[in-house]
Chains A and B, each alone.
Chain A
């Protein structure tokens, strides 16, 4: 990170007005995307997906199947993009890496005692090192929400900075777990801490806590990214995760991204969807646009 960035006092992070931010977020859902704008948007959303499996019962077999799906989303529709990445537990990184080969699809690994983050720092560092050694291209870490609620922002900051140091050039996504933070003010504060500590991405949720990503929470984070960009000239990326399973909702997110941060963020370097079932709904909509009729869900593979 550039040397001349001064670290602000996080206890006075900008305040968020709940009513205002929710109203603004709902405004994006009023945009009506048609024809080529819709098709382009759907394809872009597809290309931004981090196809995810994070289950206790994950096996090599399951991960391999998911990787195949990532590379062959729907062969009946030629010319489709692939998803951006596969997101798995550290133990599955090597399997995914091998399965994806030279497809260009990245392997993201959750880390730092995901999803709770309730582990000592050495464990989190070892967890991260292991994932990177296995070949992970991206690390999705969780912040220590307990410490955050205790007001120990320096602890949270230092932990993110320590993991970033381990990551080096590996992309670091910092999961705030907004569903556990309670207010938009705190989402904003956690976003600022993560970005100043070296996050490449800020990410809403683990997917294990409800509510996961919502449009207002994502908006608060996008606005934090904008302010960080105004201050430093550095573009931070955004990943809403969990709860985005419909194509229409994904398009609303893209409208929001486009109108808050502009077109320079409109690619999978700067925006991702953490999702598992979103891809099939997008595929269904794309086929509808192409053929004019909806097809049964059974025509789309479930891996």
Chain B
């Protein structure tokens, strides 16, 4: 008789499905993209363009304009002008109509947006189709509803808009992050200058087309493209009233320094190293699925990814066995294939970071397990990876890897796991898996994290605020709290 924990299931055939690629024909990508300023696409005064590639194939997709200081200035001026001359005074009900219209056009062009998101960013089409694009539309729908109800959101506070919001978004959920930023800003009567990440500008520029199509008054939303220097020019621009940033903790710190002593308001949504905690009374099969979803969703490029798994020792062996078998059934490959679970790493640079940490983990003596799937030879790919035999002192348990790499630790008591979970400079999210309600409430009140999921993971909804503690940032996006971040109250 086979001994416990030595039996392995076989999953080769479940990975070898006939290709089922989504058609690229709906994705109309121009040869080059200009800056969207004052309702028009304008050539950059820098006259420079940079390449954007498909990380799954390393093929060029398009050329993107690089905005310099003069372009940033132009965009901020357009936004200021639009704010003072009209948007600020536009009836809230009218604002709502525009936002609603944007939501509807996103829905109408959902397929195109999903394909472009996948081509430009490497995420599986299943995720861009079923998560990114519909959730982006939902954010616009949700905040359209708030636009004329601000007095009810903040009773007796006479909420007033801030002015021009400078918004800088990351490459992991390009369209969705743009929606998170733009929708509440418009609903509260602000105008916007938004900069997408340099590796994933395309869907933001498609959103610019949608905004044009929705007839939003010129200058209310400006979308400019570029890398760090462009972002720095925005942060330092004197006529911006609010900075909303989502990205790394390092850049967040630079921004906070830069705006210190100014009148700029800020919300920063930064990195994370979330604890996903499995107790021995948890529904284990669903918990394992939650771990998979927590760390391998979007190739682990998720700031709230459950990258530290804590398993109670009495169920450690069985959880590990289930987790390994589950990992073997994951399909890694062409992001455009509808069956792909894990797509391409967003950029060569990010793949190098992930590989660096995988090496560090092995050097530190942690035990590595990767699924045996084959990965394409071209493009940037990483096998789903877990490390066992990990301690709090390991770098792979402390630093944000932002890839499909999970570190696993064990614990004995509730107090112990609370201490370990909180023993990190980050505090964005956490997950708790148990069948016992009282334990959930005990954990959620003691874990220092902005979002805590119980018996699920990576669930997002426009009505629910999202944001971090400690070095994971401050301010909330989503829900009623997300309105407050764009208002004087």
A interface with B by C-beta (< 8 Å): 2, 4, 14-17, 19-21, 23-24, 30-38, 223, 226, 229-233, 255, 258-259, 261-264, 266
In the bound complex, CA of A230 to CA of B17 (Å): 26
Residue numbers in B under 8 Å from A264 (CB-CB):
9-10
Residue numbers in B under 8 Å from A21 (CB-CB):
283, 285-286
Q: Which of B13, B17, B20, B456 has the most CB of A within 10 A?
A: B17
B129 (CB) vs chain A CBs: closest residue: A30
B12 beta carbon closer than 8 Å to chain A = yes
In the bound complex, CA of A20 to CA of B4 (Å): 26
B434 (CB) vs chain A CBs: closest residue: A15
Residue numbers in B under 8 Å from A2 (CB-CB):
1
In the bound complex, CA of A255 to CA of B285 (Å): 17
- Determine whether the beta carbon of B283 is less than 8 Å from that of A17: yes
Residue numbers in A under 8 Å from B2 (CB-CB):
233
- Determine whether the beta carbon of B290 is less than 8 Å from that of A20: yes
Q: Which of A4, A20, A223, A263 has the most CB of B within 10 A?
A: A20
B interface with A by C-beta (< 8 Å): 1-2, 4-5, 7, 9-14, 17-20, 126, 130, 281-287, 289-290, 318, 321, 325, 329, 338-339, 435, 455-456
B286 (CB) vs chain A CBs: closest residue: A20
B455 (CB) vs chain A CBs: closest residue: A17
CB distance from B135 to the nearest CB of A (A): 16
A-B contacts, 18 of them at CB < 8 A, read A15-B435, A17-B286, A21-B286, A24-B289, A31-B17, A32-B338, A33-B17, A34-B18, A34-B19, A226-B9, A229-B7, A230-B318, A232-B1, A259-B11, A262-B11, A262-B325, A263-B12, A263-B14
Residue numbers in B under 8 Å from A16 (CB-CB):
283, 285-286
Residues A19 and B456 in contact in the complex (CB < 8 Å), given A32-B338, A34-B18: yes
- Determine whether the beta carbon of B14 is less than 8 Å from that of A15: no
In the bound complex, CA of A20 to CA of B431 (Å): 14
- Determine whether the beta carbon of B9 is less than 8 Å from that of A261: yes
In the bound complex, CA of A31 to CA of B124 (Å): 12
Instruction: Tell me the interface secondary structure of chain A in the complex.
Output: helix
Residue numbers in B under 8 Å from A34 (CB-CB):
17-20
Residue numbers in B under 8 Å from A231 (CB-CB):
4
Sample of 6 more A-B contacts, CB < 8 Å, known A230-B4, A230-B7, A262-B10: A14-B283, A20-B286, A33-B18, A34-B20, A38-B18, A264-B9
Return the contact of A19 from the options B1, B5, B18, B455 (Cβ within 8 A). Answer: B455
- Determine whether the beta carbon of B321 is less than 8 Å from that of A20: no
CB distance from B140 to the nearest CB of A (A): 25
Residue numbers in A under 8 Å from B281 (CB-CB):
15
Residues A32 and B20 in contact in the complex (CB < 8 Å), given A230-B4, A230-B318, A258-B14: yes
A256 (CB) vs chain B CBs: closest residue: B14
Which 5 residue pairs of A and B lie closest in terms of their CB atoms, listed nearest first? A20-B286, A32-B20, A262-B9, A233-B2, A17-B283
Residue numbers in B under 8 Å from A233 (CB-CB):
1-2, 7
Residue numbers in B under 8 Å from A14 (CB-CB):
283-285
Residue numbers in A under 8 Å from B7 (CB-CB):
229-230, 233
Q: Which of A4, A15, A226, A232 has the most CB of B within 10 A?
A: A15
- Determine whether the beta carbon of A33 is less than 8 Å from that of B284: no
- Determine whether the beta carbon of B456 is less than 8 Å from that of A20: yes
